[in-house]
Chains A and B, each alone.
Chain A
Amino acid sequence: MSAAASFRRLLLPAGALFGAAFVSIQFIHPPLENPPVTGDFQAPVAVKSIVQRACYDCHSNQTNLRWFDKVAPVSWQVADHVQEGRAGLNFSTWQSLPPADQKAKLWESVNQIIAGAMPRTDYTLVHPAAKLSAQDVTVLKQYVASLAKNPPADTAKRNAADRQYRHWQPTQAVPATVPVAPNGIAYLPDYKNWQAISTTERFDNGTMRVVFGNAVAVKAIRDKHINPWPNGTAFAKVAWDQLADAQGNVRPGAFKQVEYMLKDDQKYAATKGWGWARFKTPELVPYGKDALFTTECIHCHQPMKNNDFVFTQPLKH
């Protein structure tokens, strides 16, 4: 018997086996449900129709699966994407978000689109209609830009900043118990002695920031070894409210938070090689219900994955 003939003889049972397996896996995964729409996203028609077309399959409770999305094993991956997509951003429960969070999610969305991270390319390959044109992106950019208003600070904002300043005692040592984030990362008071490697004016949310880098970071910058950053690198980013006067001079108002990224590709392998932490208000309240809060950090930093998840282009001193 020739090799070709024996191969043919094997082909039929193998095909049958594969077919049977294919049919039976169709029943393994529970079907994807569409929970009720409780408060749909509202925006000008031009904006909303773009978002519906390109994002709603994964970021709403109005997922519209095509037949090829429903065939296992593809359907498993689709279901995972929808679950994960909805968890981070759901346009069907939009009205339950405070207005500031709605704005933040829209700016994040536009940035994910500009970076080419959303809609996911594995999705647009099979759903080409969801691809966004340059014109679509312009419409979305103009819309979010129209939401950014940074008027001169009102009395309330000034008073809040003044009150905070009066209560702040920089000479006071670190609080008796050092605050610790849910993933075990403790607040590091020493960041104030690190070097500033950049600053940002965020007109999307009316804050201003300084990004600090520790000695390892500064050496890496000097040696131009910043992709990936070496283990031991630490960043701290501080955010304040903007206090603008009528002439357009802006200074830091109330302190909002300090955030850290600590590099250790072994210890923090599960979170892209970085230890993430955020402490809010001068009381340094750890952010996050549980250790999963890092998903939010990673999702937004995801478009920078080719740059070791770092946004900042550091400057040398």
Chain B
Amino acid sequence: MERDIEQLNSALNSVKVLRSNVRRIFDSVSNGLRADHGDDGKENKFITELQEILTTVNTNLRDVEGSVANLTTPGGPFSLGNTTYLSQETTLERQALYGQLVNSYKWTDKIREYSALAGNILAANSFNKSYKTFSTTKRRKTQTSNHNVSPEVIENIITNVDRLFPDITLTTSRPFVANPLIQASLGRVLRGHIAFKGLMIEWVVVKAHGESTDIWTESRYKVFRKVTENCHAAMCHFHSPMMPELAVRSFMHWFHSYQNLFSVPCKRCGNHLHNNLPPTWRDLRTLEPYHEECK
């Protein structure tokens, strides 16, 4: 298929070249003798010029014949499937449908091609340094849309999370029906504001208990701004379109490890403070505390 198209392209190209050179012959003949042929032996010069172009045209013609001979004839008529019936359409405004159909077909084709490429690239450079394995059967079972789910499903997940971590207090508000906003108070340490998009965690802001509950302003404390940053990293890390519920649970499990934010020293350097900050990073697997610079 690829080769056929290439040959067709080169054949069309040689036809184009042939046509343009033939046009040059007619140009030259119609103009006849021109001033730039000079005075001496102008007829001879004209004839030489004409002969040169004719030779070129000959070569071009041979090219066309050659490339046409290379083409493979398609076997039988093209099957256009149901689209053939579109040609029988009589209403005027629907006659353009065929063109649109072809265009959308092309787009779908491109999307398939690009997504396959993107899929390959992403698989090779996984930002998901995780230890998760999916079995194909499981995957098929849970493969549902995860940003357009019924509020009850999300409600269930939130209730489960709430039950799982006794020292996280969850308060849910729903400014937009399907997308809840939860406030997760982790003991007396901090409060996380987590915005969901369906089953996906879309945004996290961590603040002190007394601070505003608005999710667009960051905390006035450096330590919570750092933790917010790390929550974003973890949110991407745990994100899993295939198993959204697991992603939420893993994230909450990791988030829960901040309960000792102020009280444990860094696993690497053994100190509490580095740059006047406590260990603000938690290892994604072991949940051990590290300073930003020590991880």
A and B: real partners? no
Which residues of B pack against A, CB within 8 Å? none
